Amino acid sequence: MHSILSAIASPLFSAKAFLEDYFEKYIIIQNIKLFSDVKPDEFVVLSEDLKGYYVRNLRKKGLILNEKGQLVGFVEKTGDVGYVSKWWESEFPVTVQATDLTVIGYYKDYKITIPDPNISTEKLQGKVYMSEYLPYGKLLKNYDLNLGYYENGRFEINIPKVSKKVILLENYETDIANPENSE
């Protein structure tokens, strides 16, 4: 029995190894420390409107976190007075992490759409994170900084409180097409 299973599994394992090598030729690892002993640069929130916040001296694009490390939004405009759109007023891919299942979905208008027809959304329960495929998505998930909870087809949102100061996580650039130039 063992020899039969091993004869069947050997070509499958070889094909898996070949495909992994083929699709992951250039692995780029960037170590990013989100909360270190060094105090991050804080930016002053000037005002708020329905869709976002106006922040002073916002010079780079990226994600904005509050002082507790919760996601507040995405930098839309930079300059002396930058603009940050609230994440709950934006559209972006998300990851729903259930106990034994991880599902990719899309957040829009306070709802999550799961495109996979094989997933029963009424039975799905789990924490919702920013997609692992977006910048800082995996890092925020590893720190358990979720956006809310998905249960019985409904999304319960965790809207963060924003005080007078916010923190910028700058977008990091990766040159996938030319990995020799990236460090």
- Those residues whose C-beta lies under 8 Å from the C-beta of residue 48, and which sit 6 or more positions away, are 54, 162
84 and 105 together in one domain: no
167 and 125 together in one domain: no
* Residue 23: predicted pLDDT: 67
167 and 79 together in one domain: yes
126 and 78 together in one domain: no
20 in any annotated domain: no
107 and 118 together in one domain: yes
Mean pLDDT of 52-61: 92
pLDDT digits (tens, 9 = 90+) for 78-99: 999 999 999 999 999 999 998 8
| Residue 175 pLDDT exceeds 50 | no
7 in any annotated domain: no
111 in any annotated domain: yes
Give the integer Cα–Cα distance in Å for 68 and 80. Answer: 25
53 and 95 together in one domain: no
57 to each of 82, 85, 166, 169, how far by Cα in Å? 7, 16, 12, 14
100 and 62 together in one domain: no
130 and 167 together in one domain: no
111 and 129 together in one domain: yes
| Residue 24 pLDDT exceeds 80 | no
**Could you tell me the residue range of the domain that residue 53 belongs to?**
42-88+163-171
Look up the pTM and report it: 0.70
Band the pLDDT of 106: cuts 50, 70, 90.
Answer: very high
Q: Higher model confidence: residue 24 or residue 51?
A: 51
76 and 47 together in one domain: yes
51 in any annotated domain: yes
**What is the tally of structural domains in the chain?**
2
- Residue bearing tokens 């991880």: 102
6 to each of 11, 18, 95, how far by Cα in Å? 9, 18, 35
Band the pLDDT of 150: cuts 50, 70, 90.
Answer: very high
84 and 97 together in one domain: no
69 and 103 together in one domain: no
137 in any annotated domain: yes
* Residue 108: predicted pLDDT: 92
